[in-house]
Amino acid sequence: MRHPSGSHSHGTGAAGAGGGRDDAAVVLDGVARRYGRRWALRGVSLRLEPGEVAALVGHNGSGKTTLLRILATTLRPTRGSGSVFGLDLVRDAAAVRGVVGMLGHSPGLYGDLTAGENLVFALRMMGRKATDAVVADALEQVGLAREADGLVRTFSAGMQRRVALARLLLRRPRLALLDEPYASFDADGVERVNAYLAGLKAEGFAAVVATHDLPKASAVVDRVWRIDAGVLTEVEVGAAPVGGGRPRDIVAANVEGRGSG
Beta carbon nearer to other proteins, 113 or 134: 113
Question: Binder to other proteins among 20, 38, 60, 127 (CB under 8 A)?
Answer: 127
Question: Binder to other proteins among 22, 49, 52, 117 (CB under 8 A)?
Answer: 117
Nearest distance from C-beta of residue 107 to other proteins, angstroms = 6
Q: Which helix (H) or strand (E) holds 251?
A: helix 247-256
Q: Kindly identify the residues of this chain, within the stretch 152-211, that bind other proteins according to CB under 8 A.
A: 160, 164, 167
Largest CA distance in the chain: 54
User: At a CB cut-off of 8 Å and minimum separation 6, what does 90 contact?
Assistant: 73, 76, 77, 81
Nearest distance from C-beta of residue 126 to other proteins, angstroms = 6
66 binds other proteins (CB under 8 A): no
Binding residue count for other proteins, defined by CB under 8 A: 34
Distance CA 115, CA 100 (A): 22
Distance CA 16, CA 13 (A): 6
CA 24 to each of CA 14, 75, 114, 174, 242: distance values in angstroms, whole numbers, following the listed order: 9, 21, 38, 11, 34
| Residues 72-111: x where in contact with other proteins by CB under 8 A, - otherwise, as a string | xxxxx-----------------xx-xx-xxx-xxxxxxxx
- The answer to whether 64 touches 55, Cβ cutoff 8 Å, is no
Report the interface residues with other proteins, using CB under 8 A: 69, 72-76, 94-95, 97-98, 100-102, 104-113, 117, 121-122, 124-127, 151, 160, 164, 167
